[in-house]
Structure 1
Amino acid sequence: MQRAHDRSPRSGRALFVLDQYGYAAVPMHCLRNIFAKLKHAEVILTFYIDTLLTYLDKKNLSNFEQTTGISTSVCAAEIDEIKQSPRWRVHLQSSLYQSLTSQCSAQFYTPFFVRPERGHGDFWLLHLSQHWKARDVMATTHWSHHNHFAHYGRAGFHMFSTGYIGKFDDENKLQMGFDFSEVAATVSKDTMMEQIPAMLFDGDEGMTFEQFFLKLINTTPATRSMVEATLLELHQSGEIRVVDERGDASKARVNLKAAHILQLPSQRSFLF
């Protein structure tokens, strides 16, 4: 951190690659120190989530929390009972993920995976940063180099609402996952086309493109350009309405401005 500060005292620009063998070598206070002292720092952190979940018991959970500083909502006395559930990995992984991202002080993150050709499970490849552009560049990298990257959540937004992320499900069946391929891009677009109008219904006054994107950036594998292209298609088909700061209908076809306001039209079309 001192070397990074000496090189970039004003902006604190630095990239930390913390490639731990397991999951306990990078405690939360280390990440919080980085983001507190270097405001434009980025962290790429590996985390052997499959091994942690597979061997998690009362003793391991206590040691894990003490070593990493990650406070989970999982009670040690409940682990045996939780593991009797057919979707126990859903509960444990969701709790760990929410705890880690809320306690590391990063505002933006990409919780995707490296799927090794050999080994005993997948690693989280977490990218943590304080700026949405850094997060977007990392997401774009996953799409550009879809070789060993995987994402086991949903396409579109709210990618972890269905829970479990891992190579094998609770019945030891292989999950194909989301591989950042052209097919995955199509599925992402189709899913967002369905989700976005319902999201805008929650706010009658609408919201700016910037507000919409920043609110949802951590919940989707899609990049900013993918979200923008989907919004433009919905606008051109009349499913949503894009207006400028004065409330006038926009003729945007290629790009959206951060201040463009997204709304539902007063009368929507229905297909029967």
Structure 2
Amino acid sequence: MVKSQDAFSWKDGNRPVCPIHSQVKLDILRTYIEAYFSTVAANPAIPVVNIHLVDAFAGGGVLKDPISGGPVAGSPFVMLNTVHGAQQTINASRTSTKLDIRARYHFADASRSAVSELTRGIQASEYASKLHSGDIQIDRMKFDNYLPHLLGRIPSNEKTKALFFLDQCGWNIATLDHCNAILRHLPKAEIIWNISVESLATFANENQDFRKGIERFGVDLGDAFTSQASFNHFSDWRKSLIAIFLDKIRKGCDANYVSPFMVQHDGWGYWLLHLSNHPQANNVMKATHWQHQNHSLHEGFAGLKMLEFNRDNFHQTTMFRFDEAAGKSTHEALFVELVPKLHELGGNVTRDDFVRAIANETPADVSRIDSAFAELKEEGHVRIRGPKGEQRRGGPKHGQDRISLPPQPKLFLPMSN
């Protein structure tokens, strides 16, 4: 979790201060891991889950709370503690087959002092045996060198479960090309990827060094710089640049699902992108952000145009904070936009196919989509039937429920542009 060599140094046993935005990211990581195992082990007959957990910017393991001065578990210990706790929680509710989470941990950092402190901390913890057995691997390597080394250690397999936490400093150490290399090697991997998008936008310019950085990242921003003169306000151009950058990531990413939500503190925004190839994983991450109200956010729309760039609407866009107000606006937007989308998709689809079609367009998780469909059904705008044709009360209950337009749809709902 190293952010800079000066601010995040573990020399001489020092514990760097853990800023608020880093604590939020750690909370999101913790919540997501808990939800991840609740999902993959939902079937009580599943006895074993094998998984690799990777923290490629691990830091020294323990940080300091800025208010109390007490210890704050860094990302390696968040992973270790949360997996251990998830197994205990799941097994407490099982009466027969107990769950064995067989996790392999891969921690790395470029800093000698960070690796030394992390190793010392784990050796002194309840996880020391995992270090001795090789279930915990710690490497002192720069990310460019570490990733191929790591992927050589984990055999390529389309079924291998892996969670990568890439909490880099800045925006182009862990790049789009790196993420695609991970996903090609391990298609079932999930990546939680931190990008300091405000830093990118603030220091963007046409000089050769920045262009080399963008090229290294793996995207082509086209004429984004030459268009700057056409904007009345620099802040509007920055928003345009960020929108283009995200669009390039989505189009160039090997993941089917990209959740581009932000964590903000003291005016600086950090994307915490979640990349995966499974719609359920995408939904779990969205639900995680809804649990962290006011800290998770995006600057876009509540419905099916989550981060659409619209230069005529810059100053009308309000901050979306996954709070009660955002929940209300999301429901209202979905009520208006779901029927036109259903019409666009042919007027008769399963709930799962509908969710897959809109996953990258909306901050809503499945529960909010189901709630909107329940109200639309109540007012006669859609029909919902089970897999055997049975009528549903309320919204969809199953992924294979079919949602369709009635024979004579009501006409007052606005159609999408």
- TM-score range (shorter-chain normalised) is 0.7 to 0.9
The partner residue of 1:263 within 404, 408, 412 is 404
Please tell me the residue identity of whatever aligns with 1:191: A
**Whole-angstrom CA distance in 1 between matches of 2:378 and 2:314:** 43
CA shift for structure 1 position 9: 5.7
Residues 1:31 and 2:179 aligned together = yes
- Which structure would you say has the larger Rg? 2
| TM-score (ref. length: structure 1) | 0.84
The partner residue of 2:163 within 3, 8, 15 is 15
**Whole-angstrom CA distance in 1 between matches of 2:410 and 2:253:** 44
1:29-82 deviation digits (Å, cap 9, x = unpaired): 211111111122111111111121122111154122222122223355x15425
1:179 matched residue in structure 2: 321
Q: Is the 1:57–1:80 contact (alpha carbons within 8 Å) kept by the matching residues of 2?
A: no
Change (3 A) 1:182 1:3: farther
Please tell me the residue identity of whatever aligns with 2:372: T
Q: Provide structure 1 residue ranges, at least 5 long, that are not aligned to the other structure.
A: none
**Whole-angstrom CA distance in 1 between matches of 2:345 and 2:282:** 26
Which moves more between the two structures, 54-63 or 34-43?
Answer: 54-63
Query: Where does 1:234-245 land on structure 2 (aligned, <5 Å)?
Result: 234-244=376-386
SS at match of 1:62: helix
1:226 matched residue in structure 2: 368
Please tell me the residue identity of whatever aligns with 1:13: K
1:125-146 deviation digits (Å, cap 9, x = unpaired): 1111111111111111111121
1:76-109 deviation digits (Å, cap 9, x = unpaired): 5x15425556732343122100111222311111
| TM-score (ref. length: structure 2) | 0.56
Change (3 A) 1:65 1:265: same
**Whole-angstrom CA distance in 1 between matches of 2:308 and 2:249:** 17
Q: Is the 1:209–1:256 contact (alpha carbons within 8 Å) kept by the matching residues of 2?
A: no
1:132 matched residue in structure 2: 279
Identity %: 25
2:142 matched residue in structure 1: none
Number of equivalenced pairs: 260
Q: CA RMSD in A?
A: 2.8
2:221 matched residue in structure 1: 72
**Whole-angstrom CA distance in 1 between matches of 2:224 and 2:329:** 37
Change (3 A) 1:220 1:10: closer
CA shift for structure 1 position 254: 5.3
Q: Provide structure 2 residue ranges, at least 5 long, that are not aligned to the other structure.
A: 1-149, 413-417
**Whole-angstrom CA distance in 2 between matches of 1:101 and 1:19:** 19
Residues 1:195 and 2:337 aligned together = yes
1:101 matched residue in structure 2: 250
Please tell me the residue identity of whatever aligns with 1:212: F
**Whole-angstrom CA distance in 1 between matches of 2:341 and 2:246:** 24
Q: Is the 1:18–1:44 contact (alpha carbons within 8 Å) kept by the matching residues of 2?
A: yes
Q: Is the 1:89–1:170 contact (alpha carbons within 8 Å) kept by the matching residues of 2?
A: no
CA shift for structure 1 position 233: 1.9
The partner residue of 1:150 within 297, 317, 327 is 297
**Whole-angstrom CA distance in 1 between matches of 2:411 and 2:175:** 52
**Whole-angstrom CA distance in 2 between matches of 1:146 and 1:10:** 35
Q: Tell me: higher relative CO, structure 1 or 2? Use CA pairs within 8 A at least 6 residues apart.
A: 1
**Whole-angstrom CA distance in 1 between matches of 2:187 and 2:334:** 32
Q: Is the 1:241–1:249 contact (alpha carbons within 8 Å) kept by the matching residues of 2?
A: no
